[in-house]
Homo-oligomer: A and B are copies of this chain.
Amino acid sequence: MSPSSPRGTKISHIGIAVRALGESAPLFEQILGLAEVPLGDADGAKIRGFDASGSLIELLEAGNPDSPIGRFVAKRGPGIHHICFSVDDLEGTLAKCRASGLQLIDETPRVGAEGKRIAFIHPRSTGGILVELSEH
């Protein structure tokens, strides 16, 4: 495979906006038996991560009402907030997005919570889904 092959695209994580970490974590930790992955807070959210065979479930609790997660929960209620795909070639994927007329939130990659290079696509361009791209 060439470095720009998209064949390695996988779900890196799913970000779930929750009212309270303590309310939602037991399902993933105790019932589904997923191992916890330590994650730092980011973007005004307290985060707990659980590993589902290589894809992370990230539970996001708003640290304050004006944070992105706080605004999401106030507007739509708790629920799945975004999905992140890890790709082989982030710059190339962003170039394809631009060529297809998709609106990017991050025109160029920035460093995300886990130290990886990431970029978000605007939900306006994806039929309402907030999609994050990260580099392997």
Chain A residues close to B by CB (< 8 Å): 5-11, 14, 16, 18-20, 23-24, 26-27, 30-34, 52-55, 76-80, 83, 85, 87, 93, 96-97, 100, 102, 121, 123, 125-129, 131
Do residues B16 and A14 form an inter-chain contact, with CB atoms below 8 A? no
CB distance from A73 to the nearest CB of B (A): 8
Do residues A128 and B14 form an inter-chain contact, with CB atoms below 8 A? no
Q: What are the residues of chain B within 8 A of A131 when measuring CB–CB? A: 27
CB distance from A62 to the nearest CB of B (A): 13
Bound CA span A126–B55, Å: 19
Do residues B102 and A27 form an inter-chain contact, with CB atoms below 8 A? yes
Partner of A78, one of B18, B20, B128: B128
Q: What are the residues of chain B within 8 A of A77 when measuring CB–CB? A: 76, 128
Do residues B24 and A127 form an inter-chain contact, with CB atoms below 8 A? yes
- CB closest chain-B residue, reference A17: B128
- CB closest chain-B residue, reference A10: B53
Do residues A34 and B9 form an inter-chain contact, with CB atoms below 8 A? yes
Do residues A32 and B102 form an inter-chain contact, with CB atoms below 8 A? no
Q: What are the residues of chain B within 8 A of A125 when measuring CB–CB? A: 27
Partner of A85, one of B7, B10, B52, B93: B52
